[in-house]
């Protein structure tokens, strides 16, 4: 790795960690960088997943004030999140990724639409406060497992999908949903680290450069997200999801 490549990865890691904490999707910055410096696709994806995981943890720490009162909900999410992540990671390691890559941009467009038309969708599906406890619990588990499956496989923009899904099933301000997203992302990160460290083609030099940068960006990004009004945060996520989807369509 040249000094120029290391500098690019440091800068990309800072931006990616910040973006991941605010909206999700920072891996769409670091993943192309890794491919650009010559890593094969799967090695870039695996190394990227390990590199951004500490940034997710830092984002969760920065979101602590908005996690108050959500401990029981977080505990209920762990089994579905871990199971989904393990299934997605296994798909990445043992199956071709071409079909899933084809679907990813459409998933991002769906997430953007879910955020942009959140109020209308709630009117059709029912407001979260009107759901029975049983229905709310089932919807939460489905959302968490599905996003874990996606995150274990491709990781990039997982946070966008998770915020969009959770905002429809939880009666919470968006900043508290975003805090949940940061903890969930950290959980996915830990799971993928354990699996990829053993079975994946990790480039540890890349991880050593990227990981500290994503930690710094993740912490300060979470603090910035707490200061954004709900509508500003929502439309930031919508715009970023659209941009990422377009990038994936043309690459």
Condensed to tens digits (0 to 9), the pLDDT of residues 21-71 reads: 776 667 767 877 887 788 876 777 778 877 877 777 777 777 788 888 888
Condensed to tens digits (0 to 9), the pLDDT of residues 213-224 reads: 888 888 777 777
Query: For residue 13, is pLDDT > 60?
Result: yes
Question: DSSP secondary structure string, 187-238?
Answer: HHHHHHHHHHHHHS---HHHHHHHHHHHHHHHHHHHHHHHHS-HHHHHHHHH
Structure tokens at 108: 């991002």
Structure tokens at 167: 């905002």
| Total tally of structural domains belonging to the chain | 1
Condensed to tens digits (0 to 9), the pLDDT of residues 227-250 reads: 767 667 667 767 766 776 777 677
Q: Give residue 80's pLDDT.
A: 92
Query: For residue 145, is pLDDT > 80?
Result: yes
CA–CA separation, 218 vs 162, rounded Å? 17
- What is the pLDDT averaged over residues 141-153? 86
pLDDT band at 182 (very low <50, low <70, confident <90, very high): confident
Question: DSSP secondary structure string, 185-196?
Answer: HHHHHHHHHHHH
Q: Please, what is the angle between helix 98-116 and helix 230-250, to 10°?
A: 150
Question: DSSP secondary structure string, 2-61?
Answer: -HHHHHHHHHHHHHHHHHHHHTS-THHHHHHHHHHTT--HHHHHHHHHHHHHHHHHHHHH
**What average pLDDT does the chain have?**
77
Counting beta carbons within 10 angstroms of the beta carbon of residue 207, is it exposed (0 to 12), middle (13 to 18) or buried (19 or more)? buried
Query: For residue 8, is pLDDT > 80?
Result: yes
Residue reference for tokens 């071709």: 96
Domain range for 74: 3-250
CA–CA separation, 86 vs 92, rounded Å? 10
DSSP 8-state class, residue 148 = H
Condensed to tens digits (0 to 9), the pLDDT of residues 85-124 reads: 899 888 877 777 677 667 767 876 776 776 677 667 656 5
């Amino acid at each position: 790795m040249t000094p120029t490549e290391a500098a690019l990865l440091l800068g990309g890691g800072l931006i990616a960690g910040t973006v991941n904490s605010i909206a999700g999707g920072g891996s769409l910055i670091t993943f192309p960088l890794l491919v650009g410096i010559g890593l094969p696709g799967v090695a870039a994806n695996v190394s990227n997943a390990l590199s951004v995981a500490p940034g997710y943890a830092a984002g969760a720490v920065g979101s602590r004030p908005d996690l108050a009162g959500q401990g029981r909900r977080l505990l209920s999410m762990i089994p579905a999140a871990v199971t989904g992540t393990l299934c997605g990671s296994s798909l990445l390691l043992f199956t071709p990724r071409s079909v899933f890559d084809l679907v990813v941009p459409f998933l991002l467009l769906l997430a953007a639409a879910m955020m942009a038309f959140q109020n209308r969708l709630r009117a059709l599906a029912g407001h979260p406060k009107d759901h029975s406890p049983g229905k709310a619990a089932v919807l939460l588990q489905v959302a968490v497992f599905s996003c874990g499956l996606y995150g274990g496989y491709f990781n990039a923009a997982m946070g966008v999908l998770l915020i969009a899904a959770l905002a429809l099933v939880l009666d919470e301000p968006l900043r508290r949903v975003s805090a949940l997203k940061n903890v969930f992302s950290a959980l996915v990160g830990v799971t993928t680290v354990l699996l990829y460290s053993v079975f994946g083609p990790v480039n540890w030099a890349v991880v050593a450069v990227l990981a500290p940068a994503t930690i710094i960006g993740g912490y300060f990004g979470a603090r910035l997200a707490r200061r954004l009004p709900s509508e500003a945060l929502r439309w930031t996520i919508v715009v970023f999801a659209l941009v990422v989807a377009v990038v994936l369509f043309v690459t």
